[in-house]
Chain A
């Protein structure tokens, strides 16, 4: 399975601090995506990073990808209480492996930002 595994499973920080979440995966990928899920809601897409990219930014979010280590990280800077949510990484297989239309999700990191 190429399922991503997030680390840590849970993270608790104070408002204003940075939050870093990591994702490891097992097989070659076409892209890696990060999603956010607020309690009781569906997942919301944050960032898509392709296998030939190393870093991507979106507002307070920074995503890095290291294909040699099969890992990615999501950094949230200057966190806010509203950032409290679960964060998931998801991978799409490389085209040669077939089925690359599918996204395989990890189990998520639960982030709590305390005011």
Chain B
């Protein structure tokens, strides 16, 4: 089915471990985004990508790494997880970027860091 898929849906990890959240879209959209959603903060942009091999920081990039070797995939890695990174993470894609087109969101990954 066409769409945007995030995996895993739920993840529990320990402080200090590396964890990768996966995001896959089937539309061949140029733009992809990672947001985190926390109570009291709404959605905050972590990283975004305008095309394969082009990424840029958002509002809260510290502690995260992204890559985009293929247009359809945009994994987010927490290099050494901290409790403050406990959150719900949303991946989104957009054909023309926020300036010209809407974002399409996945259903999120709920990450708990113990």
In angstroms, Cα B93 to Cα A42, docked, is 12
Q: What is the total number of residues of chain A having a CB less than 8 Å from a CB of chain B?
A: 26
Q: In the complex, are the beta carbons of B99 and A30 less than 8 A apart?
A: yes
Which one, B31, B42, B107, B108, contacts A101 given CB within 8 A?
B31
Supposing A43-B90, A43-B103 touch, asked if A103 and B98 sit within 8 A by C-beta, the answer is yes
Q: In the complex, are the beta carbons of B102 and A100 less than 8 A apart?
A: no
Supposing A43-B90, A101-B31 touch, asked if A33 and B42 sit within 8 A by C-beta, the answer is no
* Partner-contacting stretch, out of B11-19, B43-51, B69-77, B79-87: B43-51
Q: Which chain B residues border A103 with CB–CB below 8 Å?
A: 33, 45, 98, 103
A20 contacts chain B at the CB level, 8 A cutoff: no
Select from chain B the residue with minimum beta-carbon distance to A31. Answer: B99
Supposing A100-B97, A100-B99, A102-B33 touch, asked if A107 and B40 sit within 8 A by C-beta, the answer is yes
Q: In the complex, are the beta carbons of B48 and A102 less than 8 A apart?
A: yes
A104 contacts chain B at the CB level, 8 A cutoff: yes
Q: Which chain A residues border B103 with CB–CB below 8 Å?
A: 33, 35, 43, 45, 90, 103
B68 contacts chain A at the CB level, 8 A cutoff: no
Q: Which residues of A17-47 have CB atoms within 8 Å of chain B's CB atoms?
A: 30-31, 33, 35, 40-45
Measured CB to CB, the closest approach of chain A to B108, in angstroms, equals: 6
In angstroms, Cα B59 to Cα A92, docked, is 14
Lowest 8 A-B CB distances belong to which pairs? A101-B97, A42-B105, A107-B42, A45-B102, A103-B98, A92-B98, A105-B43, A100-B99
Q: A residues engaging B (CB < 8 A)?
A: 3, 30-31, 33, 35, 40-45, 48, 88, 90, 92, 95, 99-108
What are 21 inter-chain pairs, A to B, with CB distance below 8 A? Answer: A3-B42, A31-B100, A33-B98, A33-B102, A40-B107, A40-B108, A41-B108, A43-B90, A43-B103, A45-B103, A48-B102, A88-B42, A88-B43, A92-B99, A99-B56, A101-B94, A102-B97, A105-B43, A105-B44, A107-B40, A108-B42
